[in-house]
Structure 1
């Protein structure tokens, strides 16, 4: 793929991935053919900042974990009121990294 397209993609979507993942993504995208580029741009990435806000305001109901597709943990938080607040507070610190990892996994599944 053209390096200019890759740089534009990374500039537009860098907030969805951790800085350590950006280098791997760049290398994989440069080795990719142009046919998959439209598919990569069509992916729906979750915004880590928005997920933090969801976790703060609705974390006791497990909505943040349901949005990430982690229904088991989301159900546990829903039934226990956020684990009596403990699981909810722990997620305030973990949800941004979990969201970025999910975005990275989603991208790698399309690239591979």
Structure 2
């Protein structure tokens, strides 16, 4: 049965995503996380900054000050991540 025999030597197609697609973060999601859970640093986890996210969680967003400052820099950080410049 030739029709059911596996083809040897032909690579299997893989579902690969480009580097840009892997690092894309939705700005709306990031802003909503910052608005509602900024004091816990959940937006930092979403952006891939898990070490800073842990620090923000343990300090409750630097008692709110660090979380407030992140609001000024969130858009710039999103642009850098989404452009691939991390």
Alpha-carbon distance change, 85 to 41 in structure 1, aligned in 2, over 3 angstroms: closer
The CA deviation at 1:74 is 0.6
Number of aligned residue pairs: 70
In the TM superposition, structure 1's runs of 4+ consecutive aligned residues that sit over 2 Å from their partners are 38-42
Q: Aligned Cα RMSD in Å?
A: 2.4
When normalised by structure 2's length, the TM-score is 0.69
Q: Is residue 58 of structure 1 aligned with residue 41 of structure 2?
A: no
Greater percentage in helix: 1
Whole-angstrom distance in 1 between the partners of 2:20 and 2:63: 39
When normalised by structure 1's length, the TM-score is 0.54
* Structure 2 gaps, min length 5: 1-15
* Structure 1 gaps, min length 5: 1-37
Whole-angstrom distance in 1 between the partners of 2:77 and 2:19: 21
Whole-angstrom distance in 2 between the partners of 1:105 and 1:74: 20
Rg comparison, structure with higher value: 2
Tell me which residue corresponds to 2:61. 82
Deviation track 1:11-61 (CA, whole Å, cap 9, x = no partner) reads: xxxxxxxxxxxxxxxxxxxxxxxxxxx844981421223211211111111
Secondary structure of the 1:46 match is coil
Whole-angstrom distance in 1 between the partners of 2:83 and 2:20: 14
Tell me which residue corresponds to 1:91. 70
Whole-angstrom distance in 1 between the partners of 2:44 and 2:19: 24
